[in-house]
Structures are given as structure tokens and as C-alpha cells.
Amino acid sequence: MLDYLYYANFLVTLGAVIIILLSNKESESTIAWLLIIMVLPVWGLLFYILFGIDVKKYKVIQQRPEELFAEKLRPLLQSQKELIRDSEIGDSESLSDVLKSMNLLLNANQAALTIDNSVNLFYTGEELFKNLINELEHAKESIHMEYFIWKSDELGKKIKDILVRKAQEGVSVKLIFDGLGSFGRISFQYKKDLRNAGVEFSYFKDLNRFIARLKINYSNHKKIVIIDSRIAYTGGMNIGSEYIDGGKRFDSWRDTHIRLQGNSVRILQTIFLTDWFNCGHEMLVHDDFFPEQQEKKKGIPLQIAVSGPDSQWNSIELLIFNIITNANHEVYIQSPYFIPDLAIMRALESAALSGIKIKLMMAGIPDKKIAWWTAYTYFEPLLRAGVRILHYKGGFLHSKVVIMDNIVSTIGTCNMDIRSFRLNYEVNAVFYDQKINMELKDHFMEDEKKCREITLDEMQTMKISRKLRNSVCRLFSPLM
């Protein structure tokens, strides 16, 4: 019996090792998975099936926006080539770099450039939700909302009451929650109230279903609101009271969110409706959801970029790589987490060594200690290259912003980590506007006053026990 178990264990381990080697993942990821398989053969294989299989070879979702709404997007995509060709955005020094970013997102993501947008930026949950709740109250036709985390707490109940009332008034209300991010956070009574009022809702991955559990590692991290097909919101904040007051763990919450009007709303609408379809609902391509926008000549140019584990290209990561490597003067980055891959590390080091001013600001008060400890293992080479690393101490920093020079910036849901780049479904807005960049930079400078700067000496004199702890955590960084 023992011999049988020994050989069975050997065959399981050997088979798992062969599968992992044939997947041709990056060396760090391969080594991490091999280590888990060697230590825990059977459980390791199960973890690999749940968390490690490269879904680019398979379909997690049925359709992507550019496939499902090709007819709706075609005019915008056709006009984009003309806009890029005739672009007058920025000065001559920055124009070529802008065009690189535009073309990258067009070719990798079919991300249409829209030029008629008005944009409002929000830096606290208090100002965001005051504005959002007011516009939800005034919705006349439709409300579409999609969130990674949705809680039935004080804020969630306030929004629910509005949605119930609007649905009873005849407004079409559709909601998407991520199955993992919102798991256990929405009460049965809350969902019953929504359903009884006629609010339609779905989980992007319902963990009560077996197949969804096999895809548990791939989260829908998007935050999208579309009101009457003319106003949209996206950015870093989910539905939960802590995004306003910091909750029990933090004194305050610092984030960045955006409100959009213009043709960019059409793009976000296609993203939501595609996800709605992929949740098992009918395909909605009605003209009511795509009203003609009154084009403005002097709006803010922007693209909406999406990426996911089964996207052909990791377009948001490629965009950030492009921003770092094409900067002429400076790159400012805000992200709560920092677990980059080798390409982003080399881009940051190369830019800093070339004389580009690089500032990386991340959460100085962690919500996930393993990710926070892992980030420390990347600091020393960056500090040697000249990157300034800042820990925000004024509460919890959840903002996801990258600013390049005076002309390109991106705000969205994507963190500076491998999970966001490759495992999550993310959405970012990419702006080509000096005023937006200056406003973001001004807020970055204000945030810097609440930061503690990490020094090279601090890293070199860190206790061996802490370095070992951090390095052990890093072993699993490709899995996080």
C-alpha cells in the first residue's frame, strides 16, 4: 500500500512538473510553482489548476468588447487613425511619444481615441459619492454599475435605496459584482430587496458554481458606473464606507476616481454590456444605450484601455512600460502595491539611470502585509538607480495613477503588480492633456508632504530576519 502511494505521489508530481515546464511561464513563476509542487504534490497540483493555468490558451469569458461591439466601435476606430495622423496634441517634443501610446492601445487593445470629453477628478470618497449619489438620484433611463467590491454597509444601503426607488420608477438598473471581491459582503436581504424592486444583478463569477471556482484566480477588478448612457465613472474606489472614512483600519482613504462625459462613455458602455453578456444575459446592442454625442472641438482626448488574463496583449502593462521608457523628464507613479515583473523593473532602472526623475509612491500603511513585505525586495536596485520611493502615511493610499511629463497620464483600476497586469480584468483611462497632468501632479506633490521617503541606507541596514521574511514572500510574488 505504501509503495502504491509512493509511486502515485511520484507520478502526480512528475506530471505536474511536466505541465508547468511546458507552460513556458517566466522563470520566477515557474520556480515558484515547482517549489509548491515539490513541497505539496497533490495540493500543489490543485492550486496550480485553480491559480496557475495560463488562460490565454482558453476562454474565461465568451467575448471581449472589441469583438461584441465591432459595429458600434468601427466609426470611432476609423476616425482614430485620422485623429492620430492629424494630431496637434502637445508640443513637438512630446507629440511622438503621445502617438506611440495612442498607436500602442489602438493596435493592442482596439482602444478608440475620443476627443470630445469633459473630465472631473475626485481624490476622496466623500466628494466622489456625494456627486455620484446625486446623479443616481436624477437618472431617467438607465443605471449600469460594475464593481469588484460591493458591500451592504451604510454606503451600500444608501445606494441600494436609490437603486430600488429608481427601478420602481421604471429606470433600467443592472449591476455586476465580482464573485470573489464581493463574496460574503452582500447580505441575502440586500439582494432580495434589489430583486423585488426589479433591479437585475449578476456575479461576474458566482462562487456558488463549480466552474466559477476553477476560475477563482481571475477577478473582475473594474469599477464602472454609466448613468443614462451619457455620464460615466471609473477609477479606484469600490462601494464601501471605508472609501469615505477609512473604515476601522485607517484614519482616512486617499484614492483617485474620474467622471466622464463624451464619446468615452460609449466605450465604457461597451465594456459593461460585454461583461453583462458574459454573465449569461442577452446581448444588448440597442441604440438607446449608444445615443449620439454632441461632439466638442475642444474636449479632452483620451482612450479607455482594458486588459484581462485572456487578452492577446497585456495592454495596460505595455502602456505603463511605454510611458516609463518614453519619458523625457519625469514619471510619477501612485499604487498601493508594487510587485512588478522584470520588464517594468528594467524600465524604471533604465529611465532613472538616464536622468529621468522617477517617483514611486505606495501605501505606507499596509492592508495586505505579504504584498507590502514583498515590495521591499524590489527597492534596493531601484534606489541605486536613482528612483525615489515614498511611503504615504496620511491614511491608506489606494490611488492608481501614472503621470508622464506634461502630456500623458492614466487613472484606473490597475495596480503596479503582476496580478493586475496579468490576472485581473482591469480598466484604465489614458489622458493626453496638459491640464489633467498638471492637476494630478499638484495632488501628487501634496501627497508627497504626507510621505516618508525610503533610503538606500535603510535598506542596507535592514535586519537579516526582515530581509529573509521579505524574500520568502517574494518567492510567491508571481502567484499573488
Residues serving a catalytic function are: 221, 223, 228, 398, 400, 405
* Backbone phi and psi for residue 309, each to the nearest 5 degrees, phi listed first: -65, -25
Strands (DSSP E) found in 166-266 = 172-177, 200-203, 224-227, 231-235, 253-254, 257-261
Contact 434, 406 (CB under 8 A): yes
For the chain, how are helix, strand and coil distributed in percent, rounded to 5?
50, 20, 30
Q: What's the rounded Cα separation, in Å, for the pair 83 and 64?
A: 24
Instruction: For residue 241, give Cα distances in angstroms to 53, 203, 254, 364.
Output: 35, 21, 13, 21
User: Letter for the amino acid at 131?
Assistant: N
Instruction: For residue 68, give Cα distances in angstroms to 265, 278, 282, 337, 405.
Output: 17, 10, 12, 33, 35
- Residue 22's contacts (CB-CB under 8 Å, 6 or more residues apart) are none
* Nearest residue to 222 via CA among 158, 280, 266, 271: 271
Strands (DSSP E) found in 290-387 = 300-307, 330-334, 338-339, 357-363
* Backbone phi and psi for residue 99, each to the nearest 5 degrees, phi listed first: -65, -35
Q: What's the rounded Cα separation, in Å, for the pair 5 and 11?
A: 10
- Residue 266's contacts (CB-CB under 8 Å, 6 or more residues apart) are 72, 76, 114, 290, 293
* Backbone phi and psi for residue 202, each to the nearest 5 degrees, phi listed first: -145, 155
Cell of 424: 485581473
Cα Rg for the chain, rounded, in angstroms?
23
Q: What's the rounded Cα separation, in Å, for the pair 181 and 204?
A: 10
Contact 399, 270 (CB under 8 A): no
Instruction: For residue 404, give Cα distances in angstroms to 108, 109, 332, 334, 392.
Output: 20, 21, 7, 12, 20
Neighbours of 63 (CB within 10 A): 14
* Backbone phi and psi for residue 145, each to the nearest 5 degrees, phi listed first: -135, 135
